[in-house]
């Protein structure tokens, strides 16, 4: 038995060594045109666009490294020392820059111009910002988080796109920040234990925090592109720690050590794999292992260092990343830029492909234009390109080079086609662990075939969102969303939603319009009661205003509060938003016997961090007056502003 066990261990070791000696897929070359490189940031919307932060400013390529240009007004004297770049996932062209000394800057025109978007004067906890994050479910592009390292405790959060900021997690010094699905993960230390690093987790928009892994200092972190809640952390002088999606929302979710030991990880990321359900994962150790790749979650791995400098003389700050389609890689090492290329396909050269707009908002339909620049393979220069196609599962769109489909001149090598994407474009066999759901990014395949039947395939990211539209919550006739919101089992931090001192029900009288309305009755205060769904919420992050009509049985100045509630499911209780008082907060002067319209900005509900607008499932009313209330509410809706 011992001999068999030793043989098995030897075979595992040999397999790992073989994996490390595997012939590399990536060929690295230094690019001497870009000097004094610091950090590299690929565009998640465009697989051919990369930003390199240098001592002179941001240097950009829009053709995957063929040419470079320095962006004007991006030097240290204008923007400071750049530490992070964040592209808003739901708003193409909206980019935030974090700096180590000047707070946050924002561009709304894809990097052409910049304006200050966060300082201590607007609420940032500190001017040093080391990491930015945004919830992947935010359809509005208004919710952002900023980590400050050791400059200040707390994480800064904005709910209005950066106009104002406030502090959450005030007990934590956060070094890194990761948002995935419903979850926020922070690496750092508490104010009380400054020498003890841990990993903290929040599943309620930073309202509460759990120390999910103690006495470990991650130096790199990454998520899966295809599977929600699959997270990898590279520990300082240790292995890679992996948490699988199974039970990720529970406090007892297990972390598993994978990959090689005693490494100092600087970067971890994933690229699209051949199977949409699985990524190819990469981890970078600058001084020993270099870049390793794995197709099985680091059970085995291979080296990808051909031409890449790896050694003890690598300075702090070295980093590696991949383009959005995973075909090109960029590294900044000791100020030198390295560009890594994967082996090209044998078919035609897909020199450039794109979709416009990059974020498609669908109502009943939305127009999208796909284009690709294709040239014959150098080895077969006379082989004519016969077919170019964009596809995703059952969706297939031929691109044409006939001069009649937004493709320029006929025969110029630019293939294009426009299509009206219907609202059922993404209605397929979705699963919660896949990111193919609204809102989110889908990965389309662009293929080109020549006359010799050789074929090339590229990956094109496209973000698909529903176009914002007014959501009718209750009108008594066509829309009657849910029933009683609260039951005794559904608690809240400050008590039960159903306080038993008030009740809400629908009646066929006293309506503002139609025949039915909601009747809210309370016998004594304080009281709280609500109306909505039980475990099914709706994403209302793209809504701007809560609108409803209200009247009382008699004129009164007794105030009434309004709250929204979410539906997190699992073992978690429903959570209320911040309470808004109708009279005290200035939305009404008094309640009258005739209906009055109330309009409350959604941002007023979001200052309480524990409430998740992505899973909004109801509305609640309450009061503190000892005499209670007797009011009627009708035509409840959520309205949104037009989105270009």
Other Cβ atoms within 10 Å of 369 Cβ, number: 15
Q: Do 231 and 192 share a structural domain?
A: yes
pLDDT value, residue 643: 60
Per-residue pLDDT for 133 more than 80? yes
CATH code of the domain in which 70 resides: 2.130.10.10
Residue 331 lies in a domain: no
High-pLDDT (> 90) share of the chain, %: 53
Of 466, 489, 506, which closes a domain? 466
pLDDT value, residue 613: 87
Give the residue with greater pLDDT, 396 vs 592: 592
Other Cβ atoms within 10 Å of 124 Cβ, number: 26
Residue 326 lies in a domain: no
Q: Do 184 and 67 share a structural domain?
A: yes
Per-residue pLDDT for 364 more than 70? no
Give the residue with greater pLDDT, 486 vs 629: 629
Give the residue with greater pLDDT, 304 vs 464: 304
Per-residue pLDDT for 433 more than 80? no
Of 414, 442, 466, which closes a domain? 466
Residue 518 near residue 506 (C-beta atoms within 8 A): yes
Chain-centroid distance of CA 305 in Å reads 30
Per-residue pLDDT for 550 more than 80? yes
Q: Do 37 and 174 share a structural domain?
A: yes
Per-residue pLDDT for 472 more than 80? yes
pLDDT value, residue 437: 44
pLDDT value, residue 427: 54
- For range 378-384, the mean pLDDT: 72
Q: 432 is written with which tokens?
A: 């919660």
Per-residue pLDDT for 380 more than 70? no
Per-residue pLDDT for 539 more than 50? yes
539 vs 579: CA distance, rounded Å = 20
Which pLDDT band, with edges at 50, 70 and 90, does 378 fall under? confident
Per-residue pLDDT for 395 more than 90? no
Q: Do 527 and 430 share a structural domain?
A: no
Residue 337 lies in a domain: no
User: Between the CA of residue 512 and those of 516, 529, 556, what are the distances in Å?
Assistant: 8, 21, 19
DSSP-assigned letters across all residues of 209-239: -EEEEES--EEEEEE-SSBTT-EEEEETTEE
Q: Do 221 and 114 share a structural domain?
A: yes
User: How many domains does the structure of the chain reveal?
Assistant: 3
**Considering only CA atoms, which of 394, 404, 403 is closest in space to residue 445?**
394
Residue 335 lies in a domain: no
pLDDT value, residue 94: 96
Q: Do 477 and 451 share a structural domain?
A: no
pLDDT value, residue 616: 85
pLDDT value, residue 434: 35
Which pLDDT band, with edges at 50, 70 and 90, does 289 fall under? very high
Per-residue pLDDT for 123 more than 70? yes
pLDDT value, residue 303: 96
- Report the chain's mean pLDDT, rounded to a whole number: 85
Looking at residue 630, the DSSP 8-state letter turns out to be: E
């959450």: which residue's tokens? Answer: 168
321 vs 343: CA distance, rounded Å = 17
- For range 380-394, the mean pLDDT: 83
553 vs 242: CA distance, rounded Å = 59
Which pLDDT band, with edges at 50, 70 and 90, does 3 fall under? very low
Per-residue pLDDT for 438 more than 80? no
Residue 505 lies in a domain: yes
Angle, CA 311 vertex, CA 307 and CA 317 arms, to 5°? 95
CATH code of the domain in which 497 resides: 2.60.120.430
DSSP-assigned letters across all residues of 380-428: STTPPEEEEEEEETTEEEEEB-SSSSSSSSTTSSEEEEEEEEETTTT-S
Chain-centroid distance of CA 127 in Å reads 23
Residues 499-514: b if buried by 16+ CB within 10 A, e if exposed: bebbebeeeeebbbee
Which pLDDT band, with edges at 50, 70 and 90, does 107 fall under? very high
314 vs 290: CA distance, rounded Å = 10
**What digits encode the pLDDT tens for the residues 205-239?**
888 899 999 999 999 999 887 777 789 999 988 99
pLDDT value, residue 496: 41
pLDDT value, residue 430: 41
Which pLDDT band, with edges at 50, 70 and 90, does 41 fall under? very high
564 vs 600: CA distance, rounded Å = 11
Which pLDDT band, with edges at 50, 70 and 90, does 626 fall under? confident
Q: Do 452 and 372 share a structural domain?
A: yes
pLDDT value, residue 120: 96
268 vs 232: CA distance, rounded Å = 7
Give the residue with greater pLDDT, 456 vs 229: 456
**What digits encode the pLDDT tens for the residues 58-72?**
999 999 999 999 999
Of 451, 466, 481, which closes a domain? 466
Q: 191 is written with which tokens?
A: 């104010």
Q: Do 388 and 484 share a structural domain?
A: no
- For range 127-138, the mean pLDDT: 94
- For range 357-386, the mean pLDDT: 82
160 vs 604: CA distance, rounded Å = 10
Q: Do 211 and 139 share a structural domain?
A: yes
pLDDT value, residue 466: 78
Per-residue pLDDT for 404 more than 90? no
**What digits encode the pLDDT tens for the residues 593-607?**
999 999 999 999 987
Residue 615 lies in a domain: yes
Q: Do 539 and 392 share a structural domain?
A: no
Give the residue with greater pLDDT, 605 vs 576: 605
490 vs 526: CA distance, rounded Å = 18
Helix (H) or strand (E) holding 16: helix 2-20
pLDDT value, residue 372: 93
| Of the listed ranges 123-127, 397-401, 478-482, the one predicted with least confidence | 478-482
Burial of 565 (0-12, 13-18, 19+ CB in 10 A): buried
Residue 568: domain span: 471-639
Most confident of 90-99, 359-368, 623-632: 90-99
Q: Do 159 and 66 share a structural domain?
A: yes
pLDDT value, residue 495: 41
Per-residue pLDDT for 584 more than 90? yes
- For range 149-170, the mean pLDDT: 95
pLDDT value, residue 424: 63
pLDDT value, residue 428: 54
CATH code of the domain in which 447 resides: 2.60.40.10
Q: Is cis: bond before 69, omega within 30 of 0?
A: no
Other Cβ atoms within 10 Å of 23 Cβ, number: 7
Looking at residue 603, the DSSP 8-state letter turns out to be: G
Q: What is the pTM of this model?
A: 0.88
Sheet strand arrangement including 131-133: 131-133, 144-147, 155-158, 166-168
Residue 117 lies in a domain: yes
Other Cβ atoms within 10 Å of 469 Cβ, number: 12
Q: Collapse the DSSP code of 15 into the 3-class scheme (helix H, G, I; strand E, B; otherwise coil) and give the result.
A: helix
Q: Do 55 and 196 share a structural domain?
A: yes
Burial of 467 (0-12, 13-18, 19+ CB in 10 A): middle
Per-residue pLDDT for 55 more than 50? yes
Residue 550 lies in a domain: yes
């Amino acid at each position: 038995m011992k001999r068999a066990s030793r043989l098995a261990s030897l075979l595992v070791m040999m397999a790992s060594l073989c994996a490390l000696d595997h012939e590399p897929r990536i060929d690295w070359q230094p690019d001497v045109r870009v000097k004094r490189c610091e950090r590299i940031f690929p565009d998640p919307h465009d697989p051919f666009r990369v930003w390199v932060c240098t001592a002179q400013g941001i240097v950009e390529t829009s053709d995957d490294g063929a040419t470079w240009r320095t962006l004007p007004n991006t030097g240290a004297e204008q923007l400071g020392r750049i530490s992070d770049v964040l592209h808003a996932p739901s708003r193409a062209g909206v980019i935030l820059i974090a700096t180590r000394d000047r707070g946050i800057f924002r561009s709304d025109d894809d990097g052409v111009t910049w304006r200050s978007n966060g300082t201590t004067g607007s609420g940032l906890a500190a001017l040093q910002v080391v990491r930015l994050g945004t919830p992947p479910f935010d359809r509005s592009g208004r919710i952002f988080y900023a980590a400050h390292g050791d400059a200040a405790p707390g994480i800064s959060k904005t709910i209005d796109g950066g106009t104002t900021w406030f502090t959450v997690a005030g007990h934590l010094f956060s070094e890194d920040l990761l948002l995935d699905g419903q979850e926020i993960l922070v690496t750092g230390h508490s104010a009380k234990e400054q020498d003890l690093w841990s990993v903290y987790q929040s599943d309620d928009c930073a309202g509460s925090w759990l120390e999910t892994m103690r006495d470990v200092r991650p130096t790199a972190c990454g998520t899966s592109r295809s599977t929600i809640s699959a997270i990898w952390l590279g520990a300082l002088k240790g292995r890679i720690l992996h948490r699988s999606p199974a039970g990720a929302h529970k406090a007892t979710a297990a972390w598993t050590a994978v990959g090689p030991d005693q490494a100092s990880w600087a970067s971890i990321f994933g690229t699209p794999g051949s199977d949409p359900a699985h990524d190819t994962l990469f981890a970078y150790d600058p001084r020993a292992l270099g870049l390793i790749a794995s197709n099985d979650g680091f059970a085995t791995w291979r080296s990808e260092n051909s031409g890449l400098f790896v050694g003890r003389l690598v300075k702090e700050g070295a980093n590696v990343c991949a383009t959005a389609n995973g075909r090109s890689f960029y590294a900044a090492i000791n100020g030198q830029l390295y560009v890594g290329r994967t082996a090209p396909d044998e078919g035609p050269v897909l020199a450039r492909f794109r979709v416009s707009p990059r974020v498609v908002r669908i109502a009943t339909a939305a127009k999208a234009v796909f284009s690709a620049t294709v040239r014959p393979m150098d080895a077969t220069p006379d082989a004519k390109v016969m077919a170019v196609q964009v596809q995703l599962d059952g969706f297939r769109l031929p691109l044409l080079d006939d001069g009649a489909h937004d493709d320029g001149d006929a025969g110029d090598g630019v293939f294009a086609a426009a299509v009206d994407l219907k609202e059922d474009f993404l209605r397929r066999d979705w699963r919660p662990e896949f990111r193919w759901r609204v809102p989110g990014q889908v990965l389309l395949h662009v293929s080109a075939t020549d006359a010799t039947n050789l074929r090339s395939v590229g990956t094109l990211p496209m973000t698909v969102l529903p176009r914002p539209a007014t959501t009718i919550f209750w009108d008594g006739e066509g829309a009657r969303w849910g029933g009683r919101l609260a039951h005794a089992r559904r608690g809240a931090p400050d008590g039960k939603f159903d306080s038993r001192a008030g009740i809400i029900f629908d009646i066929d009288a006293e309506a503002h319009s139609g025949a039915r309305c909601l009747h809210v009755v309370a016998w004594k205060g304080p009281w709280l009661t609500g109306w909505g769904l039980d475990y099914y919420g709706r994403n209302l992050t793209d809504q701007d205003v809560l609108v409803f009509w209200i009247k009382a049985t008699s004129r009164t100045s007794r105030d009434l509060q309004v709250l929204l509630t979410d539906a997190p499911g699992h073992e978690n209780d429903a959570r209320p938003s911040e309470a808004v008082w109708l009279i005290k907060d200035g939305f009404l002067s008094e309640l009258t016997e005739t209906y009055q319209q109330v309009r409350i900005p959604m941002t007023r509900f979001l200052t309480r961090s524990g409430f998740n607008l992505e899973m909004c499932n109801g509305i609640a009313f309450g009061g503190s007056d000892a005499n209670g209330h007797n009011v009627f509410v009708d035509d409840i809706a959520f309205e949104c502003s037009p989105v270009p």
